[in-house]
């Protein structure tokens, strides 16, 4: 019986040593990959510049240079096959209204948009953007007790006020 216990203990020590050695090799391997990755990534990144998404197709989530964003509407600003997306961003530099140009649709059917372009607008909150059949792009906004109608100047990417109506029943 002692001999079996002795053999078992010897086997246990050998097994434990093999596990420790495997862990050591695994850690060295992972550390080597991490150092290699860090060198590759640091060589590609430039301070203050956007960095590429790590997916194979380089597509990532829609994002503005702000902390929060809200969709405001869609319209054919750049005359693409699908409408472009207007989004209001807040909590960043600079805050404001942006339009994402539609580029294509992915193989999975997801719309793919280009880099956002800032749209000049006196009104960004509490409104909506839409396009009429004549191709005009409109924005309707609340400002205090006023309902404000604007139209997009496509050349300047700027919403210009067309009309303002005071509505006394607004809070």
Total H helices, total E strands in the chain: 1, 10
Q: What is the pLDDT of residues 28-76, one digit of tens each?
A: 454 555 444 444 444 567 777 766 666 677 777 777 777 788 899 999 9
Cβ count within 10 A of residue 55: 8
Segment holding 34, helix H or strand E: helix 2-44
Q: What is the pLDDT of residue 65?
A: 72
Of 146, 153, 148, 80, nearest to 119 by C-alpha is 153
Of 156, 154, 121, nearest to 139 by C-alpha is 121
Give yes or no for a contact between 160 and 151, defined as CB atoms under 8 angstroms apart.
yes
Give yes or no for a contact between 137 and 84, defined as CB atoms under 8 angstroms apart.
no
């Amino acid at each position: 019986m002692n001999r079996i216990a002795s053999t078992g203990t010897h086997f246990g020590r050998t097994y434990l040593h093999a596990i420790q050695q495997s862990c050591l090799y695994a850690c060295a391997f992972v550390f080597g990959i991490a150092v290699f990755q860090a060198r590759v990534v640091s060589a590609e990144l430039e301070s203050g510049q956007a960095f590429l998404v790590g997916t194979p197709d380089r597509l990532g989530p829609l994002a503005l240079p702000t902390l929060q964003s809200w969709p405001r509407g869609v319209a054919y600003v750049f005359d693409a096959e699908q409408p472009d997306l207007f989004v209001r961003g807040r909590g960043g530099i600079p805050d404001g209204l942006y339009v994402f140009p539609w580029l294509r649709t992915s193989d999975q059917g997801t719309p793919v948009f280009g880099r956002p372009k800032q749209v000049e607008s006196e009104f960004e909150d509490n409104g909506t953007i839409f396009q009429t059949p004549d191709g005009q792009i409109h924005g309707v906004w609340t400002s205090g007790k006023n309902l404000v109608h604007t139209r997009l100047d496509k050349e300047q990417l700027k919403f210009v006020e067309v009309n303002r109506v005071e509505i006394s029943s607004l809070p």
